[in-house]
Each structure stands twice: as C-alpha cells, then as structure tokens.
Amino acid sequence: MIIDIHGHYTTAPKALEDWRNAQIAGIQDPALMPRVADLRISDDELRESIATNQLAKMQERGSDLTIFSPRASFMAHHIGDFQVSASWAAICNELCFRVSQLFPDHFIPAAMLPQSPGVDPASCIPEFVKCVEQYGNVAINLNPDPGGGHWTSPPLTHRHWYPIYEKMVEYDVPAMIHCFHATGAHYINADTTAFMQCLQGDLFKDFPSLRFVIPHGGGAVPYHWGRYRGLAQELKKPLLSEHLMKNIFFDTCVYHQPGIDLLTKVIPVDNVLFASEMIGAVRGIDPETGFYFDDTKRYIEASTQLSAAQKHQIYEGNARRVYPRLDAALKKKGI
C-alpha cells in the first residue's frame, strides 16, 4: 500500500474562495461578514473536484491513500482575529472530513488549527478535539509562523506551544510543520527553521513521544546535514540521532532524483515518509524527464540505494508507525 502523507485540498470548489473573500471583506465591514451556513458545497461538487484531480492522479501514479489537509496557502492565520481563523478552520476541516467520507479508501484527514497571531495556542484545542474525535483526523498541521512571514512567534521549543503538544501526546497524533506562504522560499525556510529551533532546544526531553513531520524533504536540512550535525556538536547537544531523530520525520516532497537520492542516503530510512504534495505549487512536467515534477513515487522507484523493504517502509510502514490513528483506521478495515 502506498500512503501519501502530504496532500492539500487545493482544488476545492470556487465557492470556498468566494466565501473566504467575503469573510476577509467582513473584517473591515461587519455587514459583509458571511455566516458559516452561507457556504454551500454539494457532495457532487466535492466528488468532482477530487475525482478529476487528486484521485485521478493518485490512480495514474499508483498511490492509494492520502493524508489530506486544507490548502496551506489558504490558511493565512495572520488574517483577522481568532474568530476569523476559527470559522475558517472549521469550514476547511469540515470539507476535508467530507472528502474523507466520500472517498474513505483514498483520503484520511489532517486538521488545520485556528491559530491566530498573539493568541494562546490553547485556543486551538476545541477544533483539534473535534477533528480527532468526530472527524477521525490522524494529524494536525502546525504553523510555526502564524504572523505570516515575519517570525514573531516564540520558537517551537517554547512553552507557548505546550498546550498543543500536550494534546498531540494525549491523542498520539503527529504535527506536520507547515507555514502558509505560497512562495518557493518561505515553505522551505520554515522547514529549515523548525529543524534548527528543535536542534537548539530540548523539546523532546519534555515530550519524548512528540512527533513532527517536516515537509518538503526537511527544507535544506538533509543537504546541509553535516552543518547541522556540526552545529549540534558546537551546542554540546547529543548526536542528532538521539537528540532529534526519534521525533522528527521528513517527507519526500523533493522534486528531482538527485534530491531524493541525497535524502534517502543521509537521513535514516526510518525517518522518511512518502509524500508528493500533489496537487501543489509545482504542477508541470519536467522537460528533463518527461514526467511530472511532483510524481515523487518515480524517484523512490528509481532509487538504486533503497531495498524493496526500505521502499515499503517509506511508502507505508513509517506512516503507520508515525500516524498511529491512521494505522488503527486501516486495521479496522482489515488492511
């Protein structure tokens, strides 16, 4: 079985974007603020938006199940106040839940949190609880920079974030660290920054079972693995294998063969999880290969370093270990 741990609902019907634009207008002029009930998207519309897009590509490329979360570039936690974020997260999470109900064999949801700059992360707990208990979410996305690009929040190792971590540990769900910025630099930089914050701190002493998935192949980290090993040594931290790698995992959203080869050479196979972020920011065909840039399964398949057992780990085994609620859901179905 091939599990893609990183997919966003980037193809939602346009009504969603229209509602969001109305909500943003409503921040200035409360008369324009839409009600949650104003958004109406039918099951047929949801079905079509998935069947012709993500699901079609999954079947074409041969992946089975996607951990599916709201569109990252729509999260925009810095827009409006907590109430704005709360309504928006509720709507987006409900849509991903509905997709998972419509295609239960192919999508399982991960939640966006109603983070808001300057607001206690504990305010996110009710949405988190609902998503896990009622919607069957197997993970959350955590934005380390809800201020939107200026890095004004405390680092991820700060007690500021502990209410969320306590709930993650209680529910045994991992967080994907994911900022909302749509550009090619911010995503990658947030990944690298998240890793460096963890390196400098001792978060996993307080939460030995906490798990972070750093997407986009870990940002710059595997390429600079020697630098980070060396920095940990300068800071008198344990070896990264002890200090971080029981708790931090990287996905395979790296869109060329040499990058995947580096990732799987440098990072222990236990810490690498299959993902494509399809349909995401890079939708084209690589003229050098004739295949989609984001068809990351091809790179894993073509790897000459990985054994069949290791490929299985990356495709399925690690995901079932890092996302125990996903494993439980599959087992319940006899898979």
Residue ranges binding a second copy (CB under 8 A) = 149-151, 183-186, 188-189, 192-193, 195-197, 199-200, 216-217, 219-220, 222-231, 233-234, 239, 254-256, 258-259, 261-262, 265-266, 281-284, 286-288, 293-294
Q: How far is the CB of 227 from a second copy (least distance, A)?
A: 5
Q: How far is the CB of 179 from a second copy (least distance, A)?
A: 12
> Which listed residue (277, 288, 301, 316) is catalytic?
277
Whole-angstrom distance, CA of residue 25 vs CA of residue 116? 18
Task: Kindly tell me which of 169 and 266 has the beta carbon lying closer to a second copy.
Answer: 266
Angle at alpha carbon of residue 101, lines to 95 and 103, rounded to 5°: 105
301 is a catalytic site residue: no
Q: How far is the CB of 255 from a second copy (least distance, A)?
A: 3
Task: Kindly tell me which of 13 and 149 has the beta carbon lying closer to a second copy.
Answer: 149
Task: Kindly tell me which of 129 and 281 has the beta carbon lying closer to a second copy.
Answer: 281
Whole-angstrom distance, CA of residue 204 vs CA of residue 141? 18
Whole-angstrom distance, CA of residue 70 vs CA of residue 101? 15
Task: Kindly tell me which of 22 and 262 has the beta carbon lying closer to a second copy.
Answer: 262
How many Cα atoms within 13 Å fall on the side-chain side of residue 176?
34
Q: How far is the CB of 17 from a second copy (least distance, A)?
A: 19
Question: How much is the CA Rg of the chain, to the nearest whole Å?
Answer: 19
Task: Kindly tell me which of 14 and 265 has the beta carbon lying closer to a second copy.
Answer: 265
Whole-angstrom distance, CA of residue 3 vs CA of residue 320? 9
Residue 190 DSSP one-character state: H
Tally helices (H) and strands (E) across the chain: 16, 9
Count Cβ atoms within 10 A of the Cβ of residue 177 and give its class: 0-12 exposed, 13-18 middle, 19 or more buried: buried
Both structure tokens of 169 = 């540990």
Task: Kindly tell me which of 124 and 203 has the beta carbon lying closer to a second copy.
Answer: 203
Whole-angstrom distance, CA of residue 263 vs CA of residue 184? 19
Q: How far is the CB of 151 from a second copy (least distance, A)?
A: 7
Whole-angstrom distance, CA of residue 284 vs CA of residue 277? 13
CA dist 69 → 62, 80, 233, 260 (Å): 20, 21, 36, 24
Q: How far is the CB of 83 from a second copy (least distance, A)?
A: 27
Catalytically annotated residues: 277
